[in-house]
Amino acid sequence: MIPTVPRHVLLDVVRRALAEDLGGRGDLSGQATLPDDLEGRFVVRARAEGRLAGARAARLTFSEVDRTLRLDDWLDDGAALEAGTVIGRVMGPVRSIVAAERVALNLLGRLSGIASLTARFVAAVDGTGTAITHTRKTTPGLRALELAAVAAGGGAMHRFGLDDAILIKDNHVAACGGVGAAVRRARAFAGHMTRVAVEVDRLDQLDEALAAGAGSVLLDNFSNEDLRAAVARVGDRGVTLEASGNVSLDTVRAIAGTGIDVISIGALTHSAPNLDVGLDDA
């Protein structure tokens, strides 16, 4: 399910982006060349194959510039796109449409790029039972939109931020004096209602984590052989195993084939190329 980004979050992003682009004087090029009573009809069109995300943000951009604009026939996030697919239609004052164009397309291209890359990873592990998920390596201020784009591409949700889950990483482990000590301390803090996850980079640390009662273990940069060994050690304990570190489209299916539960991929958000989208005269 694609999470619904609250309207006030979208509005904050859109208003900041428009303020950055329009500045204090607005679109001087449009003011200089376009009569204020000129009306037009345009389509937002995909120029490459991919997966749609950011449609609400794009629509809100147009309506924030001019509430008289008509926005018809917009596809929903998660829709499959081919080169030439019409994503939506915009009608009304041309000066307003071109003033909103770049911000709307930037949001669509960025978020659809994330959804499209996620969909490729999800397709690569199809049938294995392994979930593809994101990390916190997101663009500051855009996390809610980018993680919704991951979901639009078929990805699973990880923690949103530091305040919604306990994940003990290497610096926590070092400060506590070891994996077991860190997990025990976290379990004492969290009580029985909160699941505790810990990142490890060796099989002996996995054994420590299991003995201390970790509910989830993130296996960082493990070889496929060690991932299979980890899966065997966990057995039917009900502990979730997550693999991470330098995952690519070339390697992801083999990683999933080890029996791992989840593969987290920072590249979904920090390295996704924009999907090419454009605004064309209809």
Cβ-Cβ contacts under 8 Å for 10 (sequence gap 6 or more): 56, 57, 60, 145
Q: Which of 199, 208, 242, 261 is flagged as catalytic?
A: 199
Whether 208 sits among the annotated catalytic residues: the reply is no
Distances in Å between the alpha carbon of 222 and those of 44, 180, 218, 237, 246?
43, 19, 10, 20, 10
Whether 16 sits among the annotated catalytic residues: the reply is no
Whether 207 sits among the annotated catalytic residues: the reply is no
Whether 137 sits among the annotated catalytic residues: the reply is yes
Q: Which of 41, 89, 136, 169 is flagged as catalytic?
A: 169
269 vs 227: CA distance, rounded Å: 24
Show the 3-state SS of 24-41: CCCCHHHHHHCCCCCEEE
Q: Which of 15, 41, 47, 102 is flagged as catalytic?
A: 102
CA atoms within 13 A of residue 52's CA, in its CB half-sphere = 23
Q: Which of 146, 220, 242, 261 is flagged as catalytic?
A: 220
205 vs 188: CA distance, rounded Å: 19
Whether 27 sits among the annotated catalytic residues: the reply is no
Q: CA Rg, the chain, in Å? A: 23
DSSP-derived pairing of the beta strands 262-264 and 240-244: parallel
Of 154, 161, 174, 59, whose CA–CA distance to 105 is shortest? 59
Phi and psi at 42, nearest 5°, equal: -135, 155
Of 17, 46, 63, 160, whose CA–CA distance to 112 is shortest? 46
Of 71, 79, 137, 77, whose CA–CA distance to 107 is shortest? 77
Q: Which of 15, 136, 137, 195 is flagged as catalytic?
A: 137
Catalytic residues: 102, 137, 169, 199, 220
